[in-house]
Structure 1
Amino acid sequence: MKITICGGTGFIGKALSDHLLQQGHEVTIITRKIPELDQTVVKYLTWEQIDAYPELLEGTEALINLAGSSLNQRWTPTAKKSIIESRMTTVQAVAKLVQALHQKPEVVVQASAIAIYGTSLTDTFSEDSPAHVADFPSSVVKKWEDTADLIQEVRLIKLRTSVVLGTKEGAFPLMKLPYLLGFGGRIGSGQQWVSWIHLQDMVRLIEFCITQSDVSGPVNASAPEPVTNNQFGQTVGRVYHRPHWFPVPSFMMKTVLGELSLIILEGQRIMPDKVLKHGFHFDYPTLEQALRDLKEHQADRNV
């Protein structure tokens, strides 16, 4: 297939591009700046190029939009504006591109996030659960998904991403660091849910959504066995042979991170019902399996 990835130079995008190339797909990446040195067979285009010449992407069979500023930054008023605008701008650009193409892609996969469900210690959320806007992350994702509805005349996937676990980028290197230093422990109450997915399952799930023509709408990109923050830490300690003993109180996280701390102190128990019903198989369904694989392959993976 001819596949275009917006945001293909980021954490998930790089792994996805590598995976798709290995599977024999033809990959084009849309990015703000074309890399000077690239030894792959990937084709690069800038956002400015596709805006001026959308015909460059005629024949694209699948378009994946992963672009947008990370939530993992202190939420100053300027940062919040950047987070919202980056998402709205890229989704609108994708909608404009699809509209301009004479031959529409078969499918568009638009990144989203599980924050759309709000947070809960007791509820379990599936794709059938309603959106619940209660804080900054959930409001961002709701606007993100509403804007994605501008993408018309194609099968649209709204990919609601959980915490993606990789070896060198993403959240996990920071999550395991206290354990490597000998100061790992639960954060806050430790009862808040952590819904997660191994990076390799993440890219396989995206490919699955592309190739399964009967999958559409919201899709939870999360492993089928979420854990609490305390269980997450215990598993990290067990896999890396480090103690799980040093609790970090909520007020400390709020002092250090400000409003951003709610991502760590609150969470959602997410189930990937849609892809499971359509026959997707997780290579790493449990956290222990995922972390043992990441530890084993840390030296030879580049993401």
Structure 2
Amino acid sequence: MKRTKSIARIAFLVVFSLFLGCASPSNRLRNHLLQTEGLIALWDFSEAAGNPRIAQGVAPFSLREMGRPIERVKEGPISGYAAYLHDSAFFSLPHAETGRLNIHGKGQGVTVMAWVNWEGNTGFVGGMWNEYTDGGRRQYGLFVHLPHYNGADQVCGHISYTGKPTPPFPYSSDYSASKQTLEKGAWHFIVFTYDGTYIRSYLDGVFEAREPELIRNTSGFEGLPEGIVQSKNPYHFPDGMGDNGSDFTVGAVVLSRGMGNFFKGKIGGLAVFDRSLTKHEILEINKLTVFN
């Protein structure tokens, strides 16, 4: 009897291994993400235009189209589809429905990752970030191309505790920026992590540290005649994340003139974790990423 059970177990393992080997790259990536500790939400953007985009994870968070119906295109590493954002369209989830996406606190970690084909200009990818209401309800957000404080054509991870601009500046300067730059019109895997002390930006699974450098647009302020010299990757920010009341948006943020920082291009997946993933974990996810 024991021998029979042993043979049956071996047969099961062989069949299971064959199944995994035959699984499509997109299924392997999706399954890996769903099994990764700390996942709060994963959107694969498989839904057709006119429909909410529903997350897998701890809750079916429902992103609504704003501005116009958002076209679905047949590209992307998770579902084989992507949302094509242009003409000031974006997605939104009201603050009252953010639930566990409302990640905040001293020492609290967060990871936001996305698979994007970016066409240029400053673009907000996803997170809880509002630069205007009540003086600012910034919290956490993944951007591409923030040139004002040395983030041109780069992956940028923004964190705020107060929700307001960084004193004494008119904007928030508290973001990491990858050393590598994105190629416009090409698919990339972009990530930022925050461990409660440092923000780090990754491009295509790789973190590259930046040496301390003079930060643009920081000179001439009171107490800063020569400006600030600091590293943008990792970016030191021990303050933590505030609980500041922003909606969760994808593709745009609230600015003083209304919605802005519109992402232009395709988003084939977006995931949020309530911890800082390690370099090894991010590299493994990149290895599983196959762009169709």
Task: Say which structure, 1 or 2, has more relative contact order (CA 8 Å, 6+ apart).
Answer: 2
Q: Which has the larger radius of gyration?
A: 2
Q: TM-score, normalised by structure 1?
A: 0.26
Instruction: Give the TM-score normalised by structure 2.
Output: 0.26
Structure with a larger share of its residues in strand: 2
